Amino acid sequence: MTVREGATAEQHRRLRQMIMDGELPPGSVLLETPLSKQLGVSRTPVREALARLAQEGLITRRTRGYVVHELRPEEIIEVFDARIVLECAIAERAATTADDFQLTRIEQLTEELERLLHRLRTAGKGARAAKIRDEIRPLNVAWHAELRAAANSKTLTGLLEQILDVQRIYDPLMKQTEYEEIALGQRQHNEIVTALRKRDPQAAKDTMAAHLTTVRQSKIAEFTRTVHERT
């Protein structure tokens, strides 16, 4: 049977997807009435869906309708700083709370990423490489998700996921990450896993801080490059 899903939930999911896919880039205007026609439902579920997106920080209210959240460069950095705070806390916590099953899964994901990374190095820069990147990305997301689960804090996890959502609005605008940066990230993943196994919260936290700081650097560089080209 198909999953029973209310119209509100469905439109919420659809709009969210459209934002994350870049179909509705930052600054896009969202109006209740036209959207309800476009999506083929009445205004009620659209209204509710928009209210949820607003509370999630993905869109902002205007006097009339909503706008997909736009961040000024310094705000992008600010959001990333908050992410670092939360994800470091999660790494630190996970070092003590992760059970063996969870650690094993993280290790498996790390190894899988390792394999893909080797394939990417040999693949160079063509269509083959792009395909491998498409496999790497969700695994990376899964790696961080597994770490969150291991930290065993619904509160921290929830807050971090909120932040990640806001960040993802800008993902479609980003250029692809350089191979060297991915490789560095992978080395750091390995270090973090080691720290978790050693049950060393301080090391887990510090390594995560290093990891995210480099990711931040590269993302900001990508972003400014990209925005520069769009003018």
Partner DNA sequence: CCTCCTACTAATGGATACGTTTCTATATTA
Partner DNA sequence: TAATATAGAAACGTATCCATTAGTAGGAGG
Which residues would be at the binding site for DNA (CB under 7 A)? 6-9, 31-34, 41-45, 47-48, 62-65
Residue 52 or residue 168: which is nearer to a second copy going by CB? 52
Shortest distance (Å) from residue 14 CB to DNA: 13
Shortest Cβ distance from residue 195 to a second copy (Å)?
18
57 binds, among a second copy, DNA, none (CB under 5 to 8 A by kind): a second copy
Q: Does 47 bind a second copy (CB under 8 A)?
A: yes
23 CB-side CA count, 13 A? 9
Measured in whole angstroms, how far is the alpha carbon of residue 195 from the centre of its chain?
A: 23
Please identify which residue in 19, 24, 79, 95 interacts with a second copy, judged by CB under 8 A.
Answer: 79
Considering only residues 158, 178, 226, 227, which one is a binding residue for a second copy as defined by CB under 8 A? 158
Determine, following the binding rule CB under 8 A, whether residue 7 of this chain makes contact with a second copy.
Answer: no
Choose from a second copy, DNA, none: what does 153 bind? Cβ within 5-8 Å by kind. a second copy
In whole angstroms, the minimum distance from the beta carbon of 64 to DNA comes to 4
CB closer to DNA, 54 vs 123: 54
User: How far apart, in whole angstroms, are the C-alpha atoms of residue 159 and residue 171?
Assistant: 19
Q: Does the footprint of a second copy cover residue 95 (CB under 8 A)?
A: no
Residue 63 or 122 having the CB closest to DNA: 63
Interacting residues with a second copy (CB under 8 A): 47-48, 51-52, 55-57, 75, 78-79, 81-82, 85-86, 89, 93, 153-156, 158-159, 162-163
